[in-house]
Structure 1
Amino acid sequence: MALLPPPSLAGIVRYFHIECASGGEVLVPATPCPEITFFIAGGSRLMLEAGLGPLIDRPMLGGPQTVPALVHWEAGTTFISALIEPGQFGRLFDADLVELRNFPVPVEAYLPHLPIRELEDGLRASRDPHYWLTLLSDWLLGLLAQRAGRVRPAFALPPGMLFQPTDDIATRCGLSVRQLERGMLASYGQSLRDERKMWRYVRALSMMLSLPPRRGLLTRIAMDCGYHDQAHMIRDFIHFTGRRPGSLLEEDDGSGLLRLFRYDDPHRQVVTGQV
């Protein structure tokens, strides 16, 4: 399930992802959105060359995921994640997004002061996904209220500015190029160049998920999303998902490996920003 946040969190939370009673291997694609996840049942292990990593079954924070990851969900795994809008993470958490990039960490180890026990108990006491969303939304709003006036305004580029020339962005923000890059790393967890590359891929993936298959679709998407050509888009997709864009949406052997690309409407519309 992918559910929109309440209006009070619009612009801070992109959407909530809720997984119910799942299990097995899953491909997690790259995403520019940091997140916080609460497990209600089961847990997740990173699949490493040497075998499965340690079980993660407690609340965790993650920065932007810049490469795909293979994970193994324990049978019956249930969780809710809040995907935070890029540039807004610092309004909620005192965390270094560069440190968290591609490396989720337990909340209680990284930010031991956060009040998570009561929220965990409330989530695990209910079976209603919409109630989980309400609990987590209220908790996040509480963090915002506590931090109001105590943190600097988040450095976030206005919509549509990301792909403007770097010098023009810096001038409009009243910064030097060096200050702009420092702000990007602090608020987004990656450089301006890498953020542009990721958002180009995100836009292309959203179009692939939204549009019906047809001849020439990938070429049209590549052009519309600013790639030099289709080969350029293919290279980026392999980097961010481990799959070529065409095979990514065609492969479905029933294993559930690509379940995070298999949202049905209206959840797909939430993920792709069509609502």
Structure 2
Amino acid sequence: MLTYVIPPLPHLSDLIMHLLVVDLDDGVSLLPASLCPSLMLFVRGSAQIVNDDGSRTESHRFFLRGPFLSPTRVTYEPGTISLSVCLKPGMLQQTLGISAASVTGSSIRMDELISNEKTDALLHAIEEVNARYDGRISATHAHELSTLFQRFLLNNLHHKKNNHLGAAFLAARQKLFFPLADLSDYFGIGQRQLERRVRETFGVTLRDVRRIARFGLCLPLIVDQSLSWGDLTRVAHESGYYDQAHMHREFVELVGIPPMQLLQKIASSDPAYWIFRLSNTEFRQLFIPVE
């Protein structure tokens, strides 16, 4: 598995996280639940989403993936290379003019958001770049693809600076799990207004924002160190869980398996869990929108 993590251009750094270019030749991925909408592009090859009943749905080549509250299993055609990037909280409405709630648990083709002419031009340029490279992805190939992709974003996303709840909400992560009354006092707005604005910003309820934020803060602690069963109690408390049983339950909901089993999968050769083998720094740069 070859992966390249590439920082955003300065003019895009308020809108997006780091970009990920990855050679998916191993054929399968387990994607955990996520608050962040993401832009996904298959540079080569294709993918199928594995549904709960075992059936498969062909993925679009270039699409916006909304927030997801449950894990997703994806299989890939041999030789597939993907390029993806997460939008920062609150940026979907600003950059593409649609609410996170409208795409939660689903995806939408990019040519439905940006003109077919512009998306086709990007895909044509990518094919021209691909024609100069054979075999597995290289650093030079990955950075050339990233440059094309980010130029497309600069030309087509609205990046006017704007105050929004998303960044402020996650920046106040120490207060994120306060009672609703205390949280609304902190932001200086009513409880119902806060809940409505959270839904508009993240596409999910305040409860689900807390669940996935807690999970996201916990994951780097889990995957970056050798833990025993007893260590999980400490990690649970540090991450805002009531206890180890609480963490166990939410991991099953959001990644499909409990923490100790996830550690075993990471340590194994199971290719589906490659995303959890990224370094702590890379994982945060790609998926965790708070320091």
TM-score under structure 1 length normalisation: 0.87
Cα 1:266–1:176 change in 2 (3 A) is closer
User: Do the aligned residues in 1 keep the contact of 2:33 with 2:69 (CA within 8 Å)?
Assistant: yes
CA contact (8 A) 1:210 1:269 kept: no
SS at match of 2:199: helix
Contact 2:85/2:286 (8 A) holds in 1: no
**Of Structure 1 and Structure 2, which has the larger fraction of its residues in helix?**
2
Match of 2:115 in 1: 113
**Match of residue 191 from structure 1:** 205
- 2:278 aligned to which of 263, 266, 269: 263
Cα RMSD for the two superposed structures: 2.6
Displacement of 1:65: 1.4
The match for 2:93 is 90
CA distance in 1 between partners of 2:92 and 2:287 (Å): 20
Q: Structure 2: 5+ residue runs without aligned partners?
A: 131-140
- Structure 2: which amino acid aligns with 1:8? H
Q: Which runs of 5+ in 1 are unaligned?
A: none
Alignment of 1:238 with 2:257, yes or no, is: no
2:189 to 163, 168, 175: 175
TM norm structure 2: 0.82
Q: 1:141 to 1:154 in 2, by over 3 A?
A: farther
After TM superposition, the structure 1 stretch with the greater mean CA deviation from structure 2, 264-273 or 232-241, is 264-273
Contact 2:252–2:258, Cα closer than 8 Å, also in 1: yes
Q: Does 1:139 align with 2:152?
A: yes
Within the candidate set 30, 34, 54, 1:31 is matched to 34
Cα gap change, 1:237/1:112 in structure 2, threshold over 3 Å: closer, same or farther?
same
Q: C-alpha distance in 2, partners of 1:62/1:90?
A: 14
- SS, match of residue 129 in structure 2: coil
- Cα deviation per residue 1:176-207 (whole Å; 9 max; x = unaligned)? 22222221111111111210111111111111
Contact 1:5/1:15 (CA < 8 Å) preserved in 2? Answer: yes
Identity of aligned residues (%): 25
Per the TM alignment, residue 29 of structure 1 is displaced from its structure 2 partner at its CA by 0.8
Report 1:67-106 matches (<5 A): 67-106=70-109
Moved more, 163-172 or 52-61: 163-172
The answer to whether the Cα contact below 8 Å between 2:20 and 2:83 also exists between their aligned partners in 1 is yes
CA distance in 2, matches of 1:272, 1:55: 25
Query: Structure 1's 207 and 7: CA in aligned 2 closer, same or farther, altered over 3 A?
Result: farther
- Count of matched residue pairs: 271
1:38-77 equivalence runs, <5 A: 38-77=41-80
